Amino acid sequence: MWMRELRADLAALLWPTECVTCGAPDRDCCGACLAVLRRDRGRAGWVRAPVGVTACVAGPYSGPLRALLVACKHAGLTGFARELGERLRAPLRLALGGAESRAGVLLVAAPSRASRVRRRGYRHVELIVRAALRGKPPGGARLLPGALRAARGRSAQVGLDASARRRNAALVAVSRRARRRLRGARVVLVDDVITTGATAAGACSALAAAGAQVIAVVALCAVERRDEGRHARGGSGWSEGPSKR
């Protein structure tokens, strides 16, 4: 651990940079922000998204969790996948429950658009899942890489209204080579951020159509919907603890 810290300090000396969370002229994530991220490692809770999907998440989409995810997803800072993977472990454990129920479970990452994967050269959600499974894997769960892909015509969700989002999000396809593995398998869908839940719902439908049994949706974080949360039936927003599904 300290070797990694030392390398980060040396790199910051040689190539001065700033913290992705607070902007302090330091390493790419300063010690204070890293401490905040690590302090919450054991946290996990359930969130009910507006579309009706219930997901188990590590926390709200804010602070260092958000900053590191954005940097990993959009800025090529794939080294952050390790810290993000550490945070994904608690919600994975909570969603998977007892050890015997984890055996043979396949983890499937929500799809990114093919053009984006080509441009970036990596699937960030799968990097994070791999990091979460390293060292102390939550039971016998395994990643099934590249199982889902965005179908033709799917665009970014940003800027679409609710119904357009839902139509767009439903454009998820199961990859040909994953079909055989998915039929009859117990699957946990893993995403990075739960916003409306439309993407997760689209992915769950595609998995179910392929004969998989989706036992849970797990994500790193969820966008907090303050005003909607208070009024929505059944409540949205995120609630901590091993309680309800």
- Sites of contact with Zn ion (CB under 5 A): 19, 21-22, 24, 30, 33
87 neighbors 58 (Cβ within 8 angstroms) = yes
Shorter beta-carbon distance to Zn ion: residue 67 or 109: 67
Would you state the torsion angle of the CA atoms of residues 124, 48, 59, 83, taken in this order, to the nearest 10 degrees? Answer: -20
Shorter beta-carbon distance to Zn ion: residue 33 or 169: 33
The two tokens of residue 225 are 């919907």
239 neighbors 47 (Cβ within 8 angstroms) = yes
Q: Name the minimum Å distance from CB 221 to Zn ion.
A: 18
Angstrom distances, CA of residue 93 to CA of 26, 28, 46, 117, 181: 33, 29, 12, 28, 22
Shorter beta-carbon distance to Zn ion: residue 19 or 207: 19
What amino acid is encoded at 8 in this protein?
Answer: A
Q: Name the minimum Å distance from CB 167 to Zn ion.
A: 39
Q: Name the minimum Å distance from CB 131 to Zn ion.
A: 21
Q: Report which of 80, 90, 148, 160 is spatially closest to residue 117, judged by C-alpha positions.
A: 148
Q: Name the minimum Å distance from CB 6 to Zn ion.
A: 18
| CB burial string 157-191: b at 16+ within 10 A, e below | eeebeeeebbebbbbbbbeeebeebbeebbbbbbb
Shorter beta-carbon distance to Zn ion: residue 79 or 137: 79
Q: Name the minimum Å distance from CB 19 to Zn ion.
A: 3
Q: Name the minimum Å distance from CB 39 to Zn ion.
A: 14
For the CA atoms of the chain, what is the radius of gyration? Answer: 18
For strands 238-240 and 213-222, give the pairing. unpaired
Q: Name the minimum Å distance from CB 59 to Zn ion.
A: 17
Shorter beta-carbon distance to Zn ion: residue 28 or 126: 28
Shorter beta-carbon distance to Zn ion: residue 24 or 156: 24
Q: Report which of 26, 109, 22 is spatially closest to residue 68, judged by C-alpha positions.
A: 22
Shorter beta-carbon distance to Zn ion: residue 18 or 224: 18
Tell me if residue 59 falls in helix, strand or coil: strand
